[in-house]
Structure 1
Amino acid sequence: MTGQNARRVTVVPNGPMLVEGPVELVTDDGVTHTSDRFVVAVCACRRSKRFPFCDTSHRKRVRDDPPDGAGQPPNPAAKAESDSRSG
């Protein structure tokens, strides 16, 4: 990839991925989303009402799922089971 075509992606801990724009994002359902902004915040928590773009929903609640579950919503049943073991 040449420097001219390269895009920088910055992963924000407990936040979005910041991608230097303009970008085209293709979601798992095949829909293409475009943005011509200088920097695009891409949702990594899947809580955004504007998914695949970040709307800062990640700030409302701290993720409680392990890093290997990235991109999936937290599992409330697993949390309840974990809470019952620790109590």
Structure 2
Amino acid sequence: MTEHGFEHPDVIICPGGPLLLRGDHVVEDADGVAHETRRPVSAVCRCGKSADQPWCDGTHKVLPARDRP
């Protein structure tokens, strides 16, 4: 158990899906714009198809398996 009470790492890779970030993070998008997150868990797009970049909107779920991260 960590000092914050979590037994999981701060970054979790979801196979075929997003990166899950636990706690406060700064995510830089493709244009170099920094986005702060203060949610308990945030999902970052890895497929590149989300309409809400850099955040995951679930688009990866409708992609063919060969196009998923």
Q: Same fold (TM over 0.5)?
A: yes
Higher helix share: 1
CA-CA distance at 1:62 after TM superposition: 2.5
Q: Which runs of 5 or more residues in structure 2 are unaligned?
A: none
Larger radius of gyration: 1
Q: Please state if 1:29 is matched with 2:31.
A: yes
In structure 1, the gaps of 5 or more residues are 71-87
Equivalenced residue count is 63
Instruction: Tell me what 1:45 maps to.
Output: 47
More strand by share: 2
In percent, how many aligned pairs have the same letter?
A: 35
Compare relative contact order (CA 8 Å, sep 6+) and give the higher one, 1 or 2: 2
TM-score, normalised by the number of residues in structure 2: 0.76
Pairwise CA RMSD: 2.2
TM-score using structure 1 length: 0.62
Q: Tell me if structure 2 keeps the 8 A contact 1:14–1:62.
A: no
